Structure 1
């Protein structure tokens, strides 16, 4: 197991969330340039992430056992992690199809820390305290303003159900990898393999190969596999060894902030004043919760 300090754990989770925020832009580019569907994008994301993490393990000795290949010791945890990844990816895309991006995002990402907080309290004995609970509430309010600030949203019962399923899958992966001492890079690699195999049948039906320029496709896939996948999930699982599950899930809420900024910079989207205020609230809540986490740990790194 890779051990890190609370400060470094918070940094790793923050980097992971920021990297995840670029994944949506990369997926949108794949759709624009090659007409690739979301499940197929997720399959290639997992496949590329697994290959890149395996290469990194061989080259840099990630996890300390790269020279002894074989199945991971916590095979059951890897299988559940991979299945959970596949579930929350697919359910999130189904929620977008039913309710639109805004509602799917606010329900999925907003419900996750609530589910993690409940699971962390019941299963892991984690206590947030008044400051922590207040930070979670402010973060969720900021997320709602950021995501729904333009007023373009529609409610769908089925879409909300898919979004809640996605949140449950993500929460389950977070709690599982917080509860058990696993090697994070091996878990991430195995999870990508299992998740990719789960998504492959749907991706084959949807269309696995793009219709555009292969060079553009593979360049974007390489980025998607390297940064929002291999790097992000590896760091997130390492950070979970030092940071409480609920804190990690709230810090991960910076993902839609990064995605919103990329939408403005790359796709010409407009960020309303309400959405900008929501982003500021969210980031402020994340900072307060991070300070609370460091104070709970008793000392900086």
Structure 2
């Protein structure tokens, strides 16, 4: 990403028109990601699938869809890459593969609430820190306010955990893994932003996710890859591969060109809100008053981030 010009340093993305054009695809991608929780829960409980198998199949099955989109959009199945381009897509694949793996490992040790709070809320913070310390970007006050509102709203939405694990070592190991998960998600956002200058979004996703799927092979369970799914299970896997992975990846990469890495990371906090709303509508879970308040604060943070003052 390099050093930004003085006009670009004040906002999360670039010029006003490109920023506005980037919000719709980024927010759409985050909303699509929010639908995966229900699907993974159904696959785990009904199909008996393990986390590594689901993560591998999600990445592997998304590759044909991404390459097909690349063929339709750019006219080629694969894109010629420079050594720098291969490094960027390698970083994209590594961060995506191990983000999923560490997220699952964190949940096994400290539960969903702490894992979501640390990994999802920590990612935009890491993106902001890396952007300031490494890329020498300056954060606008509006961006900081939006970041604080979005993270605070997400904490209220998810809720603070009450049943902490009594096993001290296991608990802090889970916290450390969740922090690593947040850092990997931040690297994914930064790698996705860099991929925009390497090749098309679909090419980047297809090649990067193929690399990510291969990197998960050493983590297969001893009994091998779980493939015993019902027809509905395979339909759910294909949905996750095609929509919240392939399509969302393409939307997110295209949107990052306008919103910038920091803006994209904050906007991705819409994911837990969509997941919560779906849980209320489909699973008939109850939403507390502070959860509703958190949702409103989270949405206000995203609105603040998109608001462009008149000159």
Equivalent residue in structure 1 for 2:100, among 83, 86, 89: 89
Is contact 1:143-1:279 (8 Å) kept?
yes
Q: How many angstroms apart in 1 are the aligned matches of 2:95 and 2:309? A: 32
Aligned length: 287
Once the two structures are TM-superposed, the CA of residue 179 in structure 1 deviates from its matched residue by 4.1
- Alpha-carbon shift at residue 70 of structure 1 (Å): 5.4
Residue 195 of structure 1, CA deviation: 0.8
Which runs of no fewer than 5 residues in structure 2 stay unpaired? Answer: 1-13, 166-170
Aligned 8 A contact 2:89 2:191 in 1 = no
Correspondent of 1:209 among 210, 213, 226 = 226
Deviates more, 1:96-105 or 1:153-162: 153-162
Tell whether the 8 Å contact from 2:79 to 2:203 is kept in structure 1 after alignment.
no
1:274–1:56 distance in 2 versus 1, CA, 3 Å: same
Structure 1 residue 72, shift from structure 2 partner: 3.6
**Distance 1:45-1:295 versus aligned 2 partners, 3 A rule:** farther
SS at match of 2:293: helix
- 1:16 correspondence with 2:29: yes
CA drift at 1:130: 1.6
User: Match for residue 123 of structure 1?
Assistant: 134
CA distance in 2, matches of 1:270, 1:200: 39
Task: Measure how far apart 1:209 and its partner are.
Answer: 2.4
**C-alpha displacement of 1:266:** 2.1
Q: Is the 8 A contact 2:81 2:198 kept in 1?
A: no
Q: 2:203 aligns with which of 174, 179, 186?
A: 186
Change (3 A) 1:70 1:182: closer
Q: TM-score scaled by structure 2?
A: 0.86
Distance 1:146 1:190, change over 3 A: same
> C-alpha displacement at 1:202, in angstroms?
1.9
Tell me the secondary structure at the aligned position of residue 228 of structure 1. helix
Secondary structure, aligned partner of 2:290: helix
- 2:167 pairs with 1:154: no
Determine if the alignment matches structure 1 residue 282 to structure 2 residue 295: no
Cα distance between partner residues in 2 of 1:125 and 1:245: 13
- Alpha-carbon distance, 1:205 to partner: 3.1
Specify the alignment match of 1:263 in structure 2: 279
Whether the aligned pair in 2 keeps the contact of 1:124 and 1:179 (CA below 8 Å) is no
Runs of 4+ in 1 over 4 A off after TM superposition: none
CA distance in 1, matches of 2:157, 2:130: 26
Match of 1:138 in 2: 149
Is 1:170 the counterpart of 2:185? The answer is yes
Q: 2:59 aligns with which of 46, 53, 56?
A: 46
Q: 2:32–2:271: 8 Å Cα contact kept in structure 1?
A: yes
CA contact (8 A) 1:84 1:173 kept: yes
**Which 5+ residue runs of structure 1 have no aligned equivalent?**
none
140-149 vs 110-119, which moves further: 140-149
